[in-house]
Structure 1
Amino acid sequence: MNEGLAELATLLRERDGIEKRIADMTGRSARQGDVGEFIAAEVFGIELARNAVQAGHDGWFRSGPLRDRSVNVKAYTSLADGIDISPHPCDYYLVLDAGRRTGSGVRHHRWRITEVLLFDARRLLAEFAARGVKVGYATSLRVADRAAARLYPTSGPGALLDLTVEQRAALDLFA
């Protein structure tokens, strides 16, 4: 038997055990999107929908200036490929980005959060329409769109929320 194959089987069993622990903690899967939703809920006071595949949004802000507004949480390894915009309405898009990929080839991408963006969905869609941007899967964001919506690690000029010290510290855990 191939030694590499046996080692791979062992590593996958170990990973399965870790992913089960993550799923037990989050109440959802260990996939990036589900983990991102859990982190966002904890950091931003979001009540997640009971159904993890609800159309349009993932939950509602429970406090602060966005209280009772719906939010669609996105977690990406890279925003270079754009953001997925659902045809179903929501009030806000909260995006957790792990940073840009560089180079080519297959390699490990560390689970981390390098940037958090918050977009007013109606305003974003209006801007896309005015610029003639096709909306849907992998919708392109301009650098200026990202900069204006940035909450973390630093606030952008159009930041819709001011992060507390506690929120920054929680996000720093994943930096």
Structure 2
Amino acid sequence: MIEVYQADYQNADHCLAICELLDLYARDNMGQRKPLRQEVHEKLVEDLMRRPWIRVYFAANKQEMIGIAVCIEGFSTFNSAPLGNIHDVYVKPGFRRQGVAHKLFAFIESQAREMGFCKLTLEVLEGNLPAQETYRKIGFVPYTINDSAGVAQFWQKYLT
């Protein structure tokens, strides 16, 4: 039975699982294909704790943490309401295509509705077709404001 719950930063097992799962994600073909830097491991949970607008959720099978989602609260100026950006999603390979992401997202959506969020957003790599299929089944669609302007793109500029 898969359980989903919010991470507790006071729980040492949860703190360890955050770093372990995000490191697995970083090493994944849909991640950066290399491990998290040691300094990231050392400060990640502390940095998350200082940012109450970031929430971490786990999917667990018995005692094993098998999935993680990191959600960041943002704000929609067009709706004058909070929104949630599901920034990182990772499920261990042996548990993929078993409904783990669906359960994570259902829990996150429930939490978002309770907090009055107007919508959830996420980024997905163009080449990550399995994730795109999952997200579509859950109800996500490519982001547009109006049809004539096309689909939004997610860009970045490194500062460090």
Query: What TM-score results when the alignment is normalised by the length of structure 1?
Result: 0.31
Of Structure 1 and Structure 2, the greater strand share is in 2
Which structure has the larger Rg?
1
* Structure ranking higher on relative contact order (CA contacts 8 Å, 6+ apart): 2
Alignment TM-score, normalising by the size of structure 2: 0.33
